[in-house]
Amino acid sequence: MKNAYVNGKPITREAVQFELDRLLKFYVSHGMSKETITANLEKLVERAQEQAIGAKLLLDRSEELDIKVPDADVDRRFAETARQIGGEKALRDALAAKKVTEEAFREGLRKECRVDILVKQAVAHVPEPSESDIEAYYRAHLGEFVSPPQVYARHILVSPADKNSEASKREALDEIEAIRARLLAGADFKEEARAHSDCPSSKEGGSLGWFGRGMMVKPFDDAVFSMKKGEVSGVVETEFGYHLIFKEDERPGASRPLHEVQGEIRDLLRHEARGRAVDAFVAELREKAKVEYR
C-alpha cells in the first residue's frame, strides 16, 4: 500500500494504526470472526488509511479556524483518560514509559477537543429522527428486535484440587457423582449447592439467574439448552471442573415491542445521519486539499 500525503504532509503509520485498531474493535464487537478479519485485512488497512486522511483534514481545518478549547474541557478529557487506565498515576507512568510529556499529551487532547467542536458544528443542521422514521425502521427490521431464548438455571461445581492430577480429578468426579445420586434420591438441589459447590453462586443455592445462549462456556451452554425444564443434568465437564445443572425455568425468544427499542433506534438513526453529514463535510475538505499516494 502506498503512503498517503495531505497537502504535502504524510499520514503517519501511527495514525493509520490508530484508525485500524478502532475498526477492528468495532467489527469484533459486532461479531466478525478472526478468520474474516484476516481475509479482509488488506481492505481494512486501506479503509483505515482513508479514515486517517479524513481525521487529518478535520484537524487541519479546526486549526485553520483557530477553534478555542476551554482548559476545563482538556482537564475533563485528561481525567477521563486517567480513569480508563487506572488513575492519574497510571497515566503519568504510561506517558513516562513512552517518553511523552504531560504537556505534549494535553496538547494532543486539546486537538481532539478542537476536532470534536468542528464535528459538532458540521452536524448541527442534522434533524433528530422523527417518530415516523423510527417506526418505519422498526417495521423494516423486525427480525433484528427479538429477545433470544433464555433459561434460569442452578448448578453445583466441584473443581479438582489439582487439575493436572488424575487422582485429584477422579476424586472430584466421585464427589459430583455422589451428589447426583443424592439428588436423584430426592435431596434438595439448593441445599446441596450451598453445602458442596465450589462456585460463588453456592451462597444463592447455585443460582445463575436468567441467561441466554453463548453466555456460559460451550459444554455448559450446550447441556443446559438441550435439557427439559425441571431436569437435573448428568455430569458436565468444563475447564472449571465438574458440574450438575438444574434447569429451573425457560422462556422462548420473543419480538421486542417498539416502545422498548425506540431509544436504540433513535440513537442508531441519529448516528447514521450525523455520519453522513461528517462524510459530506470531509468530502468537501478533500476537494479543496491535495491528497496524494506515493
> What's the mean per-residue pLDDT of the chain?
94
Number of domains in the chain: 2
| pTM, 2 dp | 0.66
Q: Is 214 helix (H, G, I), strand (E, B) or coil?
A: coil
135 in any annotated domain: no
Select from 43, 62, 171 the least CA-distant residue to 114.
62
- 120 in the same domain as 16: yes
- 159 in the same domain as 182: yes
Q: Measure CA 255 to chain center.
A: 23
- 107 in the same domain as 126: yes
Per residue in 149-203, pLDDT tens?
999 999 999 999 999 999 999 999 999 999 999 999 999 999 999 999 999 999 9
- E strand residue ranges, 170-240: 207-212, 236-238
Residue 100 predicted with pLDDT over 80: yes
Residue 33 predicted with pLDDT over 90: no
141 in any annotated domain: no
Contact 268, 144 (CB under 8 A): no
101 in any annotated domain: yes
Which long-range contacts link 90-94 to residues 24+ away (Cβ below 8 Å)?
none
Q: Residue 219 carries which side chain, given as an amino acid letter? A: P
> How many H helices and E strands in the chain?
11, 9
- 170 in the same domain as 94: no
Q: CATH number, domain at 178?
A: 3.10.50.40
- 199 in the same domain as 120: no
Share of the chain above pLDDT 90, in %: 90
Contact 231, 211 (CB under 8 A): no
More confident residue, 288 or 32: 288
pLDDT at 56: 96
Place of cell 460451550: 218
Place of cell 500500500: 1
142 in any annotated domain: no
- 174 in the same domain as 216: yes
Q: CATH number, domain at 34?
A: 1.10.4030.10
138 in any annotated domain: no
Q: How confident is the model at residue 260 (pLDDT cuts 50, 70, 90)?
A: very high
Q: Residue 72 carries which side chain, given as an amino acid letter? A: A
- 281 in the same domain as 237: no
203 in any annotated domain: yes
- 223 in the same domain as 284: no
Select from 138, 135, 246, 268 the least CA-distant residue to 187.
246
Residue 276 predicted with pLDDT over 80: yes
pLDDT at 26: 84
pLDDT at 147: 86
Q: How confident is the model at residue 287 (pLDDT cuts 50, 70, 90)?
A: very high
Number of other CB atoms surrounding residue 199 within 10 Å: 18
Phi, psi of 246 (to 5 degrees): -115, 115
- 116 in the same domain as 9: yes
- 204 in the same domain as 154: yes
User: Could you tell me the residue range of the domain that residue 210 belongs to?
Assistant: 147-254
Contact 54, 19 (CB under 8 A): no
pLDDT at 277: 97
Residue 294 per-residue DSSP state: -
- 167 in the same domain as 94: no
Give the mean model confidence (pLDDT) for residues 30-55: 90
241 in any annotated domain: yes
pLDDT at 31: 72
Per residue in 231-251, pLDDT tens?
999 999 999 999 999 999 999
167 in any annotated domain: yes
What distance in Å separates the CA atoms of residue 83 and residue 77, rounded to the nearest whole number?
10
- 250 in the same domain as 266: no
